[in-house]
C-alpha cells in the first residue's frame, strides 16, 4: 500500500465522490473518468479492487457464465453478450478480461479468477482509487453533501454509492438469529454426514445446497414460495444450482425442497428443531437437523443515508431509485453496482432486470456516468446524426447483437430521435422506463423483451406528437431479427416519423 501522502484523492472538495471499488464501483469510476467531469474522487475501505468478489461466493464458483471462444472475437462489442463477467471498456486492452484468467474447467469462473480480472481491469484502465478510506457518515450542506471518512471530510455536489448488497439480512423468524448466515457457512467438508436445513430457496440457498450434496447426509431447503420453473428464464437463479431440486422431485437421495413458512427455530444441545407450516400443502412439519443455515439474503450497507432522507424499499433493504438510479427522495445521491436492482423497470410479464449481476449493472454504470455529466455539469455528448437509409439497418443490428439490449431485456433500449423534418440522431442507450414515461419530441426506441409465453421478441416503441405506440415484432427460433420480414415491419413502424416523400421509398 502506498504511503498516505501518495494516495490519490485526499479529503477536500470534489464535483463527484464515488464510494466503492467492487465491479460496480470500478465500472462507474472508469466511465466517470471519461465524461470530462473535472473532479471525481473514488474512495474505498477495501485494500484492493474486487469488492464482494474478495469474499463471495462462499463456495467459490460464480453463477454467471463466460464463453472464452464465441461466434464473435474477444474485445468486440458483440462478444460482450457471451461474457457476463468482464467489465466493459473503451479500448481493446480493457475488454474481455475474465476469460484471460479462466482455466476452462467450467464455463463460469471461480471467485479468485473473477477477482483477478477486476484487479487487471483497474490496472489497465487506470482506475484510481483511494483504498483504505472508509465512508463513515453523510450530511447535507448548502453546496451539496459532506462525507465523513476515516481519512477526513469529502465535500461534493453529487455522491455515487457503489456499496453492493452485501450486508447479511436475517428474516424475522424467532430463533433464526441463533443460526449462522450464508456468509458464515463452514467449508462443505465440515458438514460431512450431517443433516442440514437451509432457510431460503434463492441463489445463496441453492448454492449452499449444491456445494453440500457430496458431503451432507440430508439437505432440506425451506421457504414459503415454491420454485417456479416456468419463471427460471426471467430469474437470476442459476439452473446450475438446481441439482438439489431435481433430486427432490425425483424422490432421490436425501434432498428436499419444502414449501413452508418457518414458524420458529429452536436450538438444543444436539442441533436444531425447525417448526414449519405448509404453504402449498396443508399441515405442519417439525424437523430435527444438525445444522441450520440462514440463506435469507442481504441488504445494502447504507449506513446513515436514511437519516439524510434516502427512502428505502424491499423491507428497508435497498434504496428506492429513479430509472437513472438516483434516490427518489434525495436528488444528487446516486447508486451503482448491484444495488441498482432496486430500480424496478417495467417488469413486463414478470421479467426483472439483470441489474443485480455484473453483466447488467456494467451497462447501467455507463448510462449513469453520462447522465450525471449532462444533468449536473452541463456536459453535452455528441449525438451522431443518422441518414434516413441508415436507420432501419442500424436498429435491426442493435436488436440482433447489442449486448445492452440482450442482457437487460425490457430494461435498456436504443433510442433514435427526430432532429428536424427529416434528420435523425442516435440518442444512445437509455432506461426504457424513462423513455416511456418522459415527455419529449418524436423518437423511436427498440428493446429486446419477453412476451407472455417467455419467448424472446424485438419490440419497437414509437413516440409521435405526444402519443406512444408499442409494436411487438415476430420471434425467430434462432433469434435472427434481421430477416426481410423484420426489416419490413421495422420500416413500417417508423414510417410515421418521416415526411411523406421520404417514407414512400423506405418501406
Q: For 254-280, how does the pLDDT look when each residue is reduced to its tens digit (9 = 90+)? A: 899 999 999 999 999 999 999 999 999
Q: How confident is the model at residue 507 (pLDDT cuts 50, 70, 90)?
A: low
Q: What is the pLDDT of residue 457?
A: 96
Average pLDDT over residues 276-301: 96
From the CB of residue 193, how many other CB atoms can be counted at a distance below 10 Å? 9
* CA–CA dist 148, 155 (Å, integer): 9
Q: Which residues pair with 293 in a beta bridge?
A: 198
Please, what's the largest Cα pairwise distance for the chain?
85
Is the pLDDT at 325 greater than 50? The verdict is: yes
196, 219 in Cβ contact below 8 A? yes
The C-alpha cell at 188 is 462443505
Provide the percentage of residues in the chain whose pLDDT is more than 70. 93
Alpha-carbon dihedral angle through residues 101, 105, 109, 115, given to the nearest 10 degrees: -40
The residue written with cell numbers 445492452 in the block is 404
User: Quick one: 466 exposed, middle or buried, by C-beta within 10 A (0-12, 13-18, 19+)?
Assistant: exposed
Q: What is the pLDDT of residue 439?
A: 83
Q: What is the pLDDT of residue 234?
A: 58
Is the pLDDT at 422 greater than 80? The verdict is: no
Nearest to 303 by CA among 150, 156, 135, 162: 135
Is the pLDDT at 232 greater than 60? The verdict is: no
181, 200 in Cβ contact below 8 A? no
Q: For 453-488, how does the pLDDT look when each residue is reduced to its tens digit (9 = 90+)? A: 889 999 999 999 889 999 999 999 999 998 999 999
Average pLDDT over residues 379-401: 92
Average pLDDT over residues 141-145: 93
221, 198 in Cβ contact below 8 A? yes
421, 441 in Cβ contact below 8 A? no
Q: What is the pLDDT of residue 465?
A: 87
Q: 3-class DSSP state for residue 391?
A: helix
Q: What is the pLDDT of residue 237?
A: 47
Is the pLDDT at 186 greater than 70? The verdict is: yes
Mean pLDDT of all residues in the chain?
A: 92
Q: Where are the beta strands (DSSP E) in 246-339?
A: 255-268, 271-278, 284-289, 291-294, 298-299, 312-313, 318-319, 333-335
From the CB of residue 137, how many other CB atoms can be counted at a distance below 10 Å? 14
Amino acid at each position: 500500500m502506498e504511503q498516505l501522502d501518495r494516495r490519490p484523492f485526499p479529503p477536500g472538495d470534489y464535483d463527484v465522490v464515488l464510494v466503492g471499488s467492487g465491479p460496480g464501483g470500478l465500472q462507474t469510476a472508469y466511465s466517470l473518468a471519461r465524461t470530462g467531469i473535472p473532479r471525481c474522487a473514488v474512495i474505498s475501505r477495501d485494500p484492493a479492487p474486487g469488492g464482494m468478489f474478495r469474499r463471495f461466493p462462499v463456495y467459490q464458483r460464480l453463477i454467471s457464465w463466460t464463453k472464452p471462444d464465441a461466434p464473435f472475437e474477444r474485445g468486440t462489442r458483440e462478444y460482450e453478450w457471451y461474457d457476463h463477467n468482464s467489465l466493459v471498456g473503451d479500448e481493446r486492452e480493457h475488454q474481455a478480461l475474465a476469460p484471460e484468467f479462466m482455466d476452462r474447467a467450467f464455463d463460469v469462473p471461480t471467485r479468485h479468477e473473477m477477482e483477478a480480472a477486476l484487479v487487471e481491469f483497474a490496472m489497465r484502465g487506470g482506475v484510481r482509487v483511494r483504498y483504505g478510506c472508509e465512508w463513515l457518515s453523510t450530511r447535507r450542506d448548502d453546496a451539496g453533501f459532506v462525507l465523513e471518512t476515516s481519512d477526513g471530510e469529502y465535500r461534493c455536489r453529487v455522491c455515487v454509492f457503489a456499496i453492493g448488497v452485501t450486508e447479511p439480512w436475517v428474516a424475522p423468524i424467532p430463533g433464526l438469529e441463533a443460526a449462522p448466515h450464508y456468509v458464515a457457512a463452514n467449508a462443505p467438508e465440515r458438514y460431512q454426514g450431517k443433516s442440514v436445513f437451509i432457510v431460503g430457496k434463492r441463489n445463496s440457498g441453492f448454492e449452499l445446497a449444491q456445494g453440500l450434496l457430496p458431503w451432507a447426509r440430508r439437505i432440506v431447503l425451506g421457504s414459503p414460495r415454491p420454485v417456479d420453473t416456468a419463471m427460471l428464464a426471467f430469474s437470476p437463479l442459476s439452473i446450475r444450482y438446481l441439482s438439489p431440486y431435481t433430486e427432490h422431485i425425483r424422490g432421490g437421495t436425501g434432498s428436499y425442497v419444502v414449501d413452508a413458512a418457518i414458524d420458529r427455530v429452536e436450538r438444543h444441545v444436539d442441533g436444531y428443531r425447525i417448526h414449519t407450516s405448509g404453504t402449498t400443502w396443508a399441515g405442519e412439519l417439525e424437523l430435527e437437523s444438525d445444522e441450520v443455515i440462514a440463506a435469507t439474503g442481504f441488504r445494502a450497507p447504507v449506513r446513515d443515508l436514511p437519516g439524510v432522507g434516502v427512502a428505502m424499499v424491499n423491507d428497508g433493504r435497498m434504496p428506492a431509485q429513479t430509472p437513472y438510479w438516483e434516490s427518489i427522495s434525495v436528488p444528487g445521491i446516486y447508486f451503482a453496482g448491484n444495488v441498482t436492482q432496486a430500480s424496478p423497470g417495467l417488469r413486463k410479464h414478470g421479467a426483472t432486470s439483470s441489474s443485480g449481476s455484473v453483466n447488467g449493472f456494467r451497462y447501467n454504470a455507463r448510462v449513469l456516468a453520462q447522465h450525471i455529466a449532462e444533468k449536473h455539469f452541463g456536459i453535452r455528448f455528441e449525438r451522431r446524426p443518422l441518414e434516413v437509409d441508415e436507420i432501419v439497418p442500424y436498429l435491426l443490428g442493435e436488436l440482433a447483437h447489442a449486448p445492452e439490449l440482450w442482457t437487460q431485456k425490457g430494461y435498456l433500449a436504443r433510442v433514435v430521435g427526430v432532429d428536424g423534418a427529416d434528420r435523425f440522431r442516435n440518442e444512445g442507450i437509455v432506461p426504457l422506463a424513462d423513455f416511456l414515461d418522459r415527455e419529449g419530441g418524436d423518437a423511436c426506441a427498440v428493446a429486446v423483451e419477453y412476451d407472455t409465453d417467455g419467448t424472446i421478441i424485438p419490440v419497437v416503441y414509437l413516440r409521435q406528437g405526444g402519443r406512444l405506440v408499442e409494436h411487438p415484432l415476430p420471434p425467430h427460433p434462432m433469434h435472427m431479427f434481421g430477416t426481410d420480414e423484420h426489416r419490413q415491419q421495422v420500416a413500417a413502424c417508423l414510417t410515421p416519423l418521416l415526411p411523406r416523400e421520404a417514407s414512400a421509398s423506405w418501406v
